[in-house]
Structure 1
Amino acid sequence: MKQRLSLHALLFNWRLKLAALGLAVLIWAAVSAEQVTSQWIPVRIDPVVRDPEFVLAGAPDPAEVRVRFSGPGRELWELAIDRPSIVLPLADIGNRRAFALDASMLRIPSGLSVNVQDIRPAVVRVDVQRLASRVIPVRARLGARSSQRYVLVRDLEVLPAEVRVTGPADRLAALDSVSTRSFDIVPDDSTFSQEVALDTAGMEGLSFSRARVRVSGPVDVRGERSIGGVAVSVPEGMMATPDLVQVGVSGAERVVGRVFPGGVRAYVPRDSLPAVLPPQGVDAPVVLDGLPPGASGRANPARIRVQPRTAAPPADSAPAPVTRP
């Protein structure tokens, strides 16, 4: 009976009692939010290099520190959510690698009236490298499509031919040149001139005195032709198998047009052969001569068998006819 009465008394006006409890919690929260307290909050370090002779080479150690703030509880909650930062200016670095932190470096969201009581640790190490500068040549890189269609009459002209690069000394030491991006040309009356961007992919952290250069030069349409039945000359006392080759000629179309069978010579240099030829002979490269400047050629086959003239004919040659009495 007493238990039933107690339960009845607990549930009597339960809505009013629940509202009173909620109001008490709100009052407690409001008072707590305005009550001044302190709290440790993790803060990241953002180093900013202000010394023109150095560049940042890695993250600070440690990357975060703990800062003890004091202020109204409500504002400390906001600060923990917004995550302030410490902007560490690196000026007049010299040989220093350890830098002290202080409250003036903290970037706290506006409108918060919190105070800094302590920073731990108060010193961080920052990895920086001294900048170097050097001048390197620029190489023009012609696209594959243009290389197949056109022939350069002379080397491409790049203006300016060199650029100044600034960056960490160890990275500059391994850099001997910079190329342009691959580009295709559009000739105009056998010449072209166009601006091309430098290819700086993978060179983050390096700065260049310019991003584009002008590439120009004369070009000609590529031509090809084949010349058959060119005799191969070999040193005296030797014979070649086969003794005739085909010659494929390529180069500027106007130059290839001036190549004729009688003007091309194919031969095997003596210094490409051993001092004493074995009876079975050796394979030797065929060298071409007589091609005009701007043309290149290739013999087919590129290598032939060279044997002593007194040696027996090759095994795959036709047998001599048999004479019967």
Structure 2
Amino acid sequence: MSGGGAPTGSATSVACAAALCAGAAAWLVAARDHGRQRARVLFVDGPARSPLRVWRERAGARLLGHLRERREWLCIPVALLVAVLGASVLPLFAGAVAVPLVRRWLRGRARRQERERREAGVVALCGAVVGELRAGHEPGQALLAAVRETGVLGAAEAGVSAAARFGGDVPAALGQAARDPGLDGLAGVAACWRVAVDGGAGLAAGLDRLEGALRAERRRREELRARLAGAWSTVAVLALLPVLGLGLGAALGADPLRVLLHTPVGLACVAVGGLLEAAGLWWAGRIVRAGEAA
């Protein structure tokens, strides 16, 4: 009996030891997780980073910011790559010529985006003024609150705010601000304000109708732009066809860059093709922009 009880007692001891080890391991894991949670609470920004890593992140963000502001200079690396592949300096001259053209195009697109942002801000300004008026505020206070909320007036905000705060000529200030690109709708706000002051009409009702008209006009332009998106896609595809042709020629082993950049016939084709490409892009863009302005 005693000989049979020894293995049983040994197995029981092993089981108890294993249970204790498992409990200790679970406690250590729980304690470590709790410590991590406390660290996350105490150090919201995470563990301390090395100065080298911080400098590298800041330098990368600064470089990306410069590239975003000067994207036209990306034409130079692309031209350099083509010059290396074609063993010619002509792509470098083409890249240098493309830099101011691309800069002009990017600035024009930025101006259009800023104008659209301001137009949307004027619509929001009308809605904010209507909301403030219906909440029981005075017209001047309502305009001040709407101007601060939307921040759409830019440099003209000081003049409009001063006129609204000190009882100046608000319609004149709004009319002056309406001369800036994208703020044309402020002329309607000035007209509603003048009619309300001179004729006693309800300012909230007039601005409400103006907001609806401006919103409908923006919706019409957006629908027209969506319809013209197919035309812009066609223009982009046609503009990229020469690049596709170069790729197909290289895949077939024809070495098109050598032919285009090192033979008289190829140089003539590059000159004529570049002029036709530029003329086609300009003409297609003019047609699409005329459709958007209609």
Q: Which has the larger radius of gyration?
A: 1
Q: Compare the two structures and name the one with the higher helix fraction.
A: 2
TM-score greater than 0.5 by the shorter chain: no
Q: Compare the two structures and name the one with the higher strand fraction.
A: 1
Band the TM-score falls in, shorter-chain normalisation: under 0.3
If the length of structure 2 is used for normalisation, what is the TM-score?
A: 0.21
If the length of structure 1 is used for normalisation, what is the TM-score?
A: 0.19
